[in-house]
Structure 1
Amino acid sequence: MAEEIQKSEPELERAAEPAKIEPPVVAASLPIKLEPDMPLLRIEAVAKKFGNFRAVDHVSLDVRAGEFFALLGPSGCGKTTLLRMLAGFETPDEGRILLGGKDIAHVLPHERPVNMMFQNYALFPHLSVRDNIAFGLKRAGMARVDIETRVAEMMALVRLEGMEKRKPDQLSGGQRQRVALARALARRPQVLLLDEPLAALDKKLRESTQRELMELQRRLGMTFIVVTHDQEEAMTMASRIGVMDAGRLDQVATPRDLYEAPASRWIAEFVGDINLFEGQPGAAEGGRLAVSTRDAGTLYVTEPRKALKGAVSVAIRPEKVKLSRRAPAVDEANAFNRLEGTITDVSYLGGQTTYKVKLDSGATVSSTMANTTRIVDAYLAGQRVVAWFTSDDCLVLDQ
């Protein structure tokens, strides 16, 4: 197979000549016709067991055409198993997977308009970059001249012109990732699945690749579904995020709503940093609810829309907690909640500084403050401060 493709190298090289090729916008072939308000992908009560272990527990989800969707959760939560069922590498024990209204749950992987990019890239080490990208096209029976054109398009799309003859071991990690992406896109799937696509890259390369993936997805107008355990990665790239735990889908929301309005205490702790104070809700007055806590006294929070039953947690993100050397007045920035303590730890992170404040009750609260000037008027370890935040800065979560 590799020899057949190799025979056309001169033609491929001419087709892939960088000076003559502009990175194209490659639309998915045979686009699925959707009814108004119909999702491209619908997952209905899908479940999967391995022995007595329930990996996916009756998950239902709609993904729209052209959406960049992320499945986020800790290791073992079921997100990769769900992705593999979408790809056709696992078959659901229960439920349906509808693509354009048609059930594909039992369709073979190569017969569904879905492709998957694996975490380890799964490149053939003995094949060149060109032949790796062409592999799936050859198996699909595409004509040789069309393969040449498509490979050239993919090489230009991921900016790897001039590297057609290299083997995977002659590429950097980022370049191997691009080859795997080009191969996954070559068949123009309706949905591209990405399993931890950036896990093997260093921080700087990971951040630049995130931007490239977002731009590529926008240009193609294709539906991307990415699996990741990295909250920052999911919030950076995805338009919506589904958080999974123990095989269940706990919340689906935009990055902003997921961070600012988590559906549970577990999600609040998993997505970003959080300060939590346990307490009992009391009386509500003037749109504010008093919560009596053991570690922070009485905290005033914006009255939640739903009724509360029993114990609650008051949650405040560290960037909402301000520090002062004196207690702000009640009418100063609506500073209803003021906690006195001593700074025990200072972490300078360039653009911001995180402080740990040990309250007089013995509890600890975190505050993250932006370094807006080059000369930072920083607080020091051992210094007495007042940590304050408004009622609007707080979330109330059921225990």
Structure 2
Amino acid sequence: MTNPADTIDIPADDDRAIAYPTPLLRIDTVSKRFGTHVAADELSLDIREGEFFALLGPSGCGKTTLLRMLAGFETPDSGRIELNGEDIAAVPPHQRPVNMMFQNYALFPHLSVRDNIGFGLKNAGLTRIGIDARVADMISLVKLNGLEQRKPHQLSGGQKQRVALARALARHPKLLLLDEPLAALDKKLREETQTELIRLQRQLGLTFVIVTHDQDEAMSMADRIGVMHGGRLQQLATPRQLYEAPASRWVAEFVGDINLVEGEIRLQDGHRLTVEGKGTGTLFATMPAEPVDGLAICIAIRPEKIRLSRRGLAAGLNHSGGMNSIEGLVDEVDYLGGRSVYRLKLDHGATLRVALANTTRLDVDAYGIGERVTAWFTPDDCVVLPR
């Protein structure tokens, strides 16, 4: 069986495009049902050794169920879960070289930091001296020195998170599973912890699998992302591929902010498509690598790919030359600090969202509500998808 992960092309300019060896973990046509709800529907996926992998999807898509099957807390109804070539689907959790860090951290309130981290090492066959040495290594690794005797109620949210991480790493698992590990942290601490997790993963060379519904979290941390919906894998790609080349309309709508324009192909000239867009008029797009069937399509355009002008297009950039340009009025403006998002009401009736960086401290270059503007973007900025 050929898995999509084996054939995916990784762009050379993606600095996370690392050549991985044979997959450490192979999920082969795994299915799991809870009554009438399908949590995993013949799902297949390879995860490589040393990879930071993210499972991304909306609530109820099956990503946490899949994580629990990898940990051994749920058993597949069918299919295989292979770790280093061995089927572990029926292996109890405590006998797997796999550990899981839970969303609520699951720390023992009556135990100190040291004892929380060391819990379970005795069952792993370590001596007291070995346990003390391992715990000391973990405390140093996650930078908890000086907090060894504190109880969980004496720790901040970030410190609790590091205790839970140290405990998960203490048994030296081949695979570390993280279930929404940063959900309880504030924005600043979450960003700091993301950086720390990446550092630890690279330092230890372990395989991390994180489940999250936070797209920014997945994009910033993962080497590859698997997007799930309805128990199925919708797309498997690097963060750059996922954002710039979504495989379907659903993925395009789910990942990031995007404009979707339905239309029909009127003309194909080499790699150039002329499309009559609903509510936009004529648009030019570049033919996708895998042409869509039929004339009815959907064009996806990221808001940050669009530029605005009060004076029309710059010299040499005009509609007849193949550049997309659309007239309209500014209907709404959202100031978001580093960028502003403009909602345009186009002359042909559609709406368009445009995201522009705020490059000056004052609003001298901003566009106001009711102002007439030209929106322009290139054919290469248009992602052509089946409708």
- Global fold match (TM > 0.5): yes
Cα distance per residue 1:82-103 (max 9 Å; x no partner)? 0000001111111111111111
Cα distance per residue 1:65-118 (max 9 Å; x no partner)? 100000000000000000000001111111111111111111111111000000
Paired residue secondary structure (2:23): coil
Q: Are 2:247 and 1:260 aligned?
A: no
1:107 counterpart (84, 91, 110): 91
Gaps of at least 5 residues in structure 2 are 1-19
Q: Is the 8 A contact 1:335 1:389 kept in 2?
A: no
Q: Is the 8 A contact 2:21 2:49 kept in 1?
A: no
Q: Normalised by the size of structure 1, how large is the TM-score?
A: 0.89
Cα–Cα, structure 1 residues 330 and 307, in superposed 2: closer, same or farther, change >3 Å? farther
Cα–Cα, structure 1 residues 327 and 335, in superposed 2: closer, same or farther, change >3 Å? farther
Q: Are 2:281 and 1:312 aligned?
A: no
Q: Are 2:344 and 1:360 aligned?
A: no
Q: Is the 8 A contact 1:329 1:335 kept in 2?
A: no
Q: Are 2:386 and 1:387 aligned?
A: no
Distance 1:287 1:374 in 2: 41
Q: CA deviation at 1:266?
A: 0.5
1:177 counterpart (146, 161, 173): 161
Q: Are 2:362 and 1:378 aligned?
A: no
Name the counterpart of 2:172: 188
1:149 counterpart (133, 156, 161): 133
Distance 1:308 1:238 in 2: 29
Name the counterpart of 1:135: 119
RMSD: 1.4
1:344 counterpart (331, 338, 342): 331
Cα–Cα, structure 1 residues 37 and 149, in superposed 2: closer, same or farther, change >3 Å? closer
Name the counterpart of 2:34: 50
Distance 2:282 2:107 in 1: 59
- Does 108-117 or 287-296 show the bigger shift? 287-296
Cα–Cα, structure 1 residues 393 and 297, in superposed 2: closer, same or farther, change >3 Å? same
2:370 aligned partner, one-letter code: G
Distance 1:137 1:127 in 2: 15
For 1:1-399, what aligned pairs fall within 5 Å after superposition?
A: 37-310=21-294, 311-328=296-313, 331-332=316-317, 336-376=323-363, 377-399=365-387
Paired residue secondary structure (2:119): helix
Q: CA deviation at 1:215?
A: 0.8
Name the counterpart of 1:30: none
Distance 1:160 1:307 in 2: 54
The aligned length equals: 364
Distance 1:321 1:229 in 2: 27
Q: CA deviation at 1:361?
A: 2.5
2:345 aligned partner, one-letter code: K
1:166 aligned partner, one-letter code: R
Radius of gyration: which is bigger? 1
Q: Is the 8 A contact 2:343 2:353 kept in 1?
A: yes
Distance 1:180 1:328 in 2: 55
2:357 aligned partner, one-letter code: A
Q: CA deviation at 1:375?
A: 3.8
Q: Is the 8 A contact 2:280 2:349 kept in 1?
A: no
1:321 aligned partner, one-letter code: I
Gaps of at least 5 residues in structure 1 are 1-35
Q: Is the 8 A contact 2:278 2:350 kept in 1?
A: no
1:354 aligned partner, one-letter code: V
